[in-house]
Structure formats: C-alpha cells, structure tokens
Amino acid sequence: MDPTLFQEIGFTEGETKVYLALLSLGPSKTGPLAVKAGVSSSKVYKILDRLIAKGIVGHVLRSKVKYFSALEPQRILEYLGAKEHQLKKKRSLFEKLLPQLELERTHSGKPHAVLYEGLKSIKNFYLNILHELSAGDIYYVLGAGYGLEEHAGLRAFFQQYHTKRAAQKIRVKMLANYDTQQTLVPATQANSEVRFLPQYLITDMTIVFYRNKAFIFFLTKEPLGFLMVNEEAVKSFTRYFDAFWKIAKEQ
C-alpha cells in the first residue's frame, strides 16, 4: 500500500503511520502502537486525538487502560464526505465575499507589480483571465511557446484552457514563436487571430496583456513570471505588438 495516498487526501505522515499500524495490530495500547508506527510516544497521543476527531479511530477501557482501534476503513469515506461538505460551504461563503475583496483590490488605484514563481502560479494567471474577461473581450500574447520538454504537461493545460476560453467567447490575438507553427494545440485557433514571429525574433519570454495588466514570464526550468498592473505598461506593449503584427506571418 502506498502511504502517500493518505497524505493526498489530507492525512499527515504521522496520522497515516498510526492508522496503518492500528489496522495491523488491532486493539493496542500506546506503547506497542508507537513502536509499530515509528513515532515517538510523546506524539502518539496527539495523533490519536486527531484520528478520533476524524472519526476513524476509537478506544475502549480495559482494567483502566485505554486500547485504541482503527475503525472500519469505510469511515474514511464518511470523513471525506463531511470534509467535502464543509469545503463546499466555505466555498459558498467565500464566493459571497469575493466581489468585495476584488472591489477593495481594484479601488486601490495604484500601479503595482507581483512576482509569480513556479508553473502552477503561471497557470493560475491564465485561469484568472477566464474570470476577468467576458464574451467579446480580447487579450494579447506576444512570444507564445511551450518552454522546456519537462513542461510537456503545458500542452494539455492549454488545450483545456483554450477550449474554455473559446466557449466563453473570449478572443485572443497571438504572436507565437516561429517554431510553434505545427505544434500549437488545436484549441488555440478557436475564436482567435494567430500569426508567427520570424525566426530571428524567437524568444523564451512570453508577454500577455489586457486592460491594465501586463504579465511577462519565462518557461525556464524554474518558471518565473512578473505581473505589472499599469496602464502605461500595457500601452507600451500594445505599440510593440502592433509593430510586430505587421511583419508576422499567418500560418
């Protein structure tokens, strides 16, 4: 059994070790349990308290000594169901709060910049486009590509992303790198205008801009992005884009 699966559904490493040890031992005192689980005796009580709170461990008293037992594994599904219900409730409450938070953010009125680190943060920027723009809105991409081979999962991400974008009728005007002519994911072409930069203008940098946002990122081994919320920056990138658009080629 792969213990990391437990951690993926919200168990700590210690909770996983103790629960699996209880399954193996049956009713057990804390001493043998700590040894079997490979955790210190000082921590085993705290871990057991958390597992009891999750509803997957119980105990009985025998001669005034506590014996702990793992409850039926089916209880884990019940725990996950309750957790999912709580998450939906929290999500609903946050959705009511979100417009107010966005209003506070946009009313700050000051240009600012944010550093994005890691591939996930860059994906989240794109997903945010789907929330900020509406049908008929347009954004611009300069220097589109898929980065290193180790970022191969990006192709699947962008296929899903552009499928959703097209379904929402959000337009994109894109200047992709010359070497992506035959490799752009099919969904890119939907509700879009795409041209390709000449080979001498190929760059590892991608610039995405719309409204008052300009996002520059590099798909290097450790992806890095830089978001500027600044209307003047967007105007400058628009001038560059328009100049390159005239010399770019259609597929």
CATH code, domain carrying 188: 3.30.870.10
What mean pLDDT is predicted for residues 227-238? 92
Q: Give the per-residue pLDDT at 107.
A: 52
- Give the pLDDT band of residue 194 (cuts 50, 70, 90): very high
Q: What is the pLDDT of residues 117-161, one digit of tens each?
A: 888 899 999 999 999 999 999 999 998 777 656 566 788 899 999
Find the domain containing 181 and state its range: 110-250
Which residue bears the tokens 């506070």? 104
Reference 82, options 56, 54, 58, 52; nearest CA is: 54
Are 197 and 175 in contact, with CB atoms under 8 Å apart? yes
Q: Is residue 199 part of a domain?
A: yes
Q: What is the pTM of this model?
A: 0.60
Q: Give the per-residue pLDDT at 46.
A: 93
When the pLDDT of each residue in the chain is averaged and rounded to a whole number, the result is: 86
Residue 95 and residue 204 share a domain: no
Reference 193, options 248, 135, 237; nearest CA is: 248
Residue 10 and residue 90 share a domain: no
Residue 134 and residue 45 share a domain: no
Q: What is the pLDDT of residues 49-59, one digit of tens each?
A: 999 988 889 98
Residue 146 and residue 101 share a domain: no
- Give the pLDDT band of residue 180 (cuts 50, 70, 90): confident
Q: Give the per-residue pLDDT at 92.
A: 83
In DSSP notation, the chain reads: --THHHHHTT--HHHHHHHHHHHHH-SB-HHHHHHHHT--HHHHHHHHHHHHHTTSEEEEEETTEEEEEE--THHHHHHHHHHHHHHHHHHHHHHHHHHHHHHHHHTT---EEEEEESHHHHHHHHHHHHHH--TT-EEEEEEE---SGGGTHHHHHHHHHHHHHHHTT-EEEEEE-GGGTTTS-GGGGTTEEEEE--GGG--SEEEEEETTEEEEEE-SSS-EEEEEE-HHHHHHHHHHHHHHHHH-EE-
Q: pLDDT at residue 220 above 70?
A: yes
First to last CA, the chain: 51
Q: Give the per-residue pLDDT at 111.
A: 63
- Strand ordering across the sheet containing 192-196: 112-117, 224-229, 213-218, 205-210, 138-144, 171-176, 192-196, 249-250
Compute the half-sphere exposure of residue 224: CA atoms within 13 Å on the CB side of its CA.
5
Q: Give the per-residue pLDDT at 85.
A: 83
Residue 97 and residue 169 share a domain: no
Q: pLDDT at residue 1 above 80?
A: no
Q: What is the pLDDT of residues 18-47, one digit of tens each?
A: 999 998 898 999 999 999 999 998 899 999
Q: Give the per-residue pLDDT at 100.
A: 67
Residue 89 and residue 63 share a domain: no
Number of structural domains found in the chain: 3
Are 175 and 237 in contact, with CB atoms under 8 Å apart? no
CATH code, domain carrying 60: 1.10.10.10
